[in-house]
């Protein structure tokens, strides 16, 4: 079950077989059905997850009941509620399977213990955290500087397969626009071709 995870980790750093086997043995395999919650706001997120199959989304539910998608995680992507995880405080975000999904979860205590035993894992996770940080910064800049139409076009160019797996509603809630507005953009772009 941990084959994809092992391959993913080795793609980032040359880990010894001992480190790799011991670390991946700490992960627990779980299946979630489409629409099942992996984490609900208010709970403490004491795990980090890796998607083997399927897709999850991390989202914020505002006071008016509107959902805002922070990100999607598909095969070989990580997910967590970083604020809750890092600071052991109640989550503000939900994590939901939006396809039937197989995931590997590692609990914080196991990750911390592994970092202490194998410092090279700490380096690896620092590098991966920086990568996520770069993506988030890129997205923040795009949100400040680009129109919704440009951001939509970029998203489908950069994630052609992912965008086909998402509903209009999910994608609109990621772009920060209504799905009616997304439909308008799609119609306009289709006409322009």
Closer of 62 and 157 to a copy of itself (Cβ) = 62
Closer of 65 and 160 to a copy of itself (Cβ) = 65
Closer of 1 and 134 to a copy of itself (Cβ) = 134
Where residue 4 falls (left for φ over 0; alpha for ψ -120 to 50; beta otherwise) is alpha
94-97 vs 56-61, strand pairing mode: antiparallel
Q: How far is the CB of 92 from a copy of itself (least distance, A)?
A: 8
38 close to 49: Cβ distance less than 8 angstroms: yes
Q: How far is the CB of 86 from a copy of itself (least distance, A)?
A: 5
Structure tokens at 193: 């071709």
Nearest 5°: the CA angle 169, 171, 172 is 65
Q: How far is the CB of 126 from a copy of itself (least distance, A)?
A: 4
**Residues in touch with a copy of itself (CB under 8 A):** 60, 62, 66, 68-70, 82-83, 86-87, 92-93, 115, 119, 122-123, 125-127, 129-134, 136-141, 143-145, 176
Closer of 34 and 138 to a copy of itself (Cβ) = 138
19 close to 55: Cβ distance less than 8 angstroms: no
Closer of 1 and 136 to a copy of itself (Cβ) = 136
Q: How far is the CB of 141 from a copy of itself (least distance, A)?
A: 5
Q: How far is the CB of 52 from a copy of itself (least distance, A)?
A: 24
Q: How far is the CB of 91 from a copy of itself (least distance, A)?
A: 12
Closer of 42 and 176 to a copy of itself (Cβ) = 176
């Amino acid at each position: 079950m941990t084959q994809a995870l092992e391959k993913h980790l080795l793609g980032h750093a040359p880990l010894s077989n001992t480190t790799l086997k011991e670390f991946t043995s700490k992960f627990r395999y779980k299946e979630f059905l489409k629409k099942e919650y992996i984490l609900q706001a208010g709970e403490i997120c004491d795990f980090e997850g890796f998607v083997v199959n399927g897709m999850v989304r991390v989202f914020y539910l505002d006071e008016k009941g509107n959902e805002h998608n922070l990100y999607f995680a598909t095969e070989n992507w990580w997910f967590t509620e970083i604020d809750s995880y890092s600071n052991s405080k109640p989550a503000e975000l939900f994590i939901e399977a939006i396809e039937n999904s197989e995931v590997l979860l590692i609990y914080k205590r196991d990750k911390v213990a592994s970092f202490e035993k194998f410092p090279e894992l700490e380096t690896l996770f620092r590098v991966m955290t920086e990568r996520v940080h770069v993506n988030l910064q890129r997205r923040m800049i795009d949100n400040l500087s680009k129109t919704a139409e440009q951001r939509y076009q970029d998203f489908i160019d950069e994630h052609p397969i992912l965008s086909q797996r998402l509903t209009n509603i999910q994608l609109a809630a990621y772009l920060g626009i209504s799905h009616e507005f997304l439909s308008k953009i799609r119609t306009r772009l289709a006409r322009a071709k």
